[in-house]
């Protein structure tokens, strides 16, 4: 089964402070290890919300709000899709990643599969 591991931004990430070379190396190392464990299907990180936009829909009307937004810690900083045997396994992988990436929160959510929809 697949899980989407999403880590949240810190204020520093939102402010565009790049991770130190050591942190970048550690993240690279982790990604390599996750690939070697055969569990990493896909993953991306996103830039600060100042480079993004938000669509808000009310009563069918779409309002487009350009970033940045005040609530930096409520924003996703990136995701990884892991294929593992259980939620617990996904959590153990996420735990290692969370310690390296310097985030304050990581959500681990199961990806809906075709078989869920029947």
SS (HEC) of the chain: CEEEEEEECCHHHHCCCCCCHHHHHHHHHHHHHHHHCCCEEEEEECCCHHHCEEEEEECCEEEEEECCCCCHHHCEEEEEEEECCCHHHHHHHHHHHHHHHCCCCEEEEECCCHHHHC
* C-beta of 56 vs 114, nearer to other proteins: 114
Q: Under the criterion CB under 8 A, does residue 25 sit at the interface with other proteins?
A: no
Please tell me the count of residues contacting other proteins according to CB under 8 A: 26
From candidates 22, 38, 61, 64, binder to other proteins by CB under 8 A: 38
Residues 70-99 that bind other proteins (CB under 8 A): 81, 83-86, 88-89, 91-93, 95-96, 99
Min dist. Cβ of residue 113 to other proteins (A): 8
Residues that bind other proteins (CB under 8 A): 32-33, 35-42, 81, 83-86, 88-89, 91-93, 95-96, 99, 113-115
């Amino acid at each position: 089964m697949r899980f989407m591991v999403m880590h949240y931004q810190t204020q520093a990430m939102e402010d565009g402070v790049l991770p130190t070379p050591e942190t970048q190396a550690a993240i690279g190392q982790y990604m390599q290890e996750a690939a070697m464990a055969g569990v990493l299907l896909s993953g991306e990180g996103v830039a600060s919300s100042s480079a993004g936009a938000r669509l808000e829909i009310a009563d069918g009307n779409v309002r487009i709000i350009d970033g940045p937004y005040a609530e930096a810690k409520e924003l996703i900083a990136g995701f990884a899709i892991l294929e593992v045997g259980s939620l617990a396994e996904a959590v153990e992988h996420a735990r290692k990643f969370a310690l390296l990436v310097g985030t304050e929160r990581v959500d681990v959510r199961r990806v809906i599969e075709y078989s869920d929809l029947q």
